[in-house]
Amino acid sequence: MIVTRIGTPALVSFWDGQVHSVFRSSCNIRLPDGPLVCLHQFASGVLPYSFYVPDLDTQLFYPGQPVQARSDEIIVDEQYFIPIADDVEMVDTRITTGLLPRRCDTEWELLRQVRESQLRDDTLVRQVYDALGDSLDKLHHALLTGHQEDLFRYCQACIGFGQGLTPSGDDMLLGTFAALHGYAPELVPSLAQAASPLLARTNEISSSYLTLAMEGYAATPVLEVLRNLGSGKTQPVETLLSVGHASGSDILYGILATVKKLWDKEKGRK
């Protein structure tokens, strides 16, 4: 096993932590402060605060194991050594600001097709998504009109709600943060102020991703969607939609719904 890519924000060379959670293709490490660090073998992208290890064997790890990182290797339980390649690639996962796209018809259609498959014959899940869609719509309205109390209320309705390891409401909110950093960064502080006190309502993994999103970082599939939004290119969207069971589609919905609200507001000014 060897680290070949590191997702920014860059970690200090020396730190200690412990294994937090273990999955088939990844494991998370808890540090004393800050978001979780992820060791992973996701070929489709790089996460912020992560190390890409193509041949990672997570069967060696279990929660609670001590982890040490040095400038040239990661040591798990003082017996598993994962070298960091001399030519390791540092992948910038910061969201950059661009021009707000006018139309995202292709992206909406691809999302619709996936949603149709996900929600087929599942009335309960459909009801959950209807509730989340309504809450996110009201959250956007509160954000754009400056109603901070309402913004807090609808963040509360989203965070920790929905299906999946990272609940659907969290992923939609992550997409919202990504879109705001990309097209309306001046609105990020208000949403972060409303969402930050509520992170304890969800699990630590999801909270970690939301914290990074507030700070302006996202996984590379999200960055690629933002860079190509409105271009008609399908590959970035298809890659994001393949992430997790529903996380990719939930994040994409958050992005597209936010962009639509921003564009509607922009049209209203003209």
What does pTM read for this prediction? 0.94
* Residue at 97 is within a domain: no
In tens, the pLDDT along 225-266 reads: 999 999 989 999 999 999 988 999 999 999 999 999 999 887
Residue-level pLDDT, tens digit, the chain, 270 residues: 899 999 988 776 788 999 999 999 999 999 988 889 999 999 888 999 999 999 999 999 999 999 999 989 999 999 999 999 999 999 999 999 999 998 899 999 999 999 888 877 778 888 999 999 999 999 999 999 999 999 999 999 999 999 888 999 999 999 999 999 999 999 999 999 999 999 999 999 999 999 999 999 999 999 999 999 999 899 999 999 999 889 999 999 999 999 999 998 876 664
pLDDT of residue 269: 60
Range of the domain at 143: 105-269
Residues 144 and 172 in one domain: yes
Partners of 36 in the β-ladder? none
pLDDT of residue 163: 84
The DSSP result for 9-77, as a single string, is: SPPPS-EEEEEEEE-SSEEEEE-SSSSPEEEE--TT---TTEEE-TT--GGG--TT-EEEE-SSEEEET
Residues 68 and 190 in one domain: no
Number of domains making up the chain = 2
* Residue at 99 is within a domain: no
Residues 84 and 120 in one domain: no
Residues 164 and 246 in one domain: yes
Residues 184 and 58 in one domain: no
In tens, the pLDDT along 134-168 reads: 999 999 999 999 999 999 999 999 999 998 889 99
pLDDT of residue 136: 97
Residues 109 and 51 in one domain: no
3-state secondary structure of 92: coil
* Residue at 100 is within a domain: no
Last residue of a domain, one of 57, 91, 125: 91
pLDDT of residue 119: 78
* Residue at 210 is within a domain: yes
* Residue at 244 is within a domain: yes
Residues 56 and 164 in one domain: no
Contact residues for 42 (Cβ-Cβ < 8 A; gap 6+): 25, 26, 52
Residues 134 and 219 in one domain: yes
Last residue of a domain, one of 91, 122, 152: 91
Range list of H helices, the chain: 105-119, 123-145, 148-158, 168-183, 188-195, 204-214, 220-228, 235-241, 247-269
Residues 59 and 8 in one domain: yes
In contact, 3 and 85? CB cutoff 8 Å: yes
Structure tokens at 20: 């937090």
The residue behind tokens 């890409």 is: 52
pLDDT of residue 244: 86
* Residue at 177 is within a domain: yes
Omega before residue 185 within 30° of 0, cis: no
Residues 142 and 76 in one domain: no
* Residue at 135 is within a domain: yes
- Angstrom CA distances, 232 to 3, 227, 254, stand at 34, 12, 18
Last residue of a domain, one of 43, 60, 91: 91
Residues 82 and 163 in one domain: no
Cα separation of 1 and 15, whole Å? 20
Residues 130 and 189 in one domain: yes
What is the DSSP code (8-state) at residue 94? B
* Residue at 222 is within a domain: yes
The CATH number assigned to the domain holding 26 equals 2.40.50
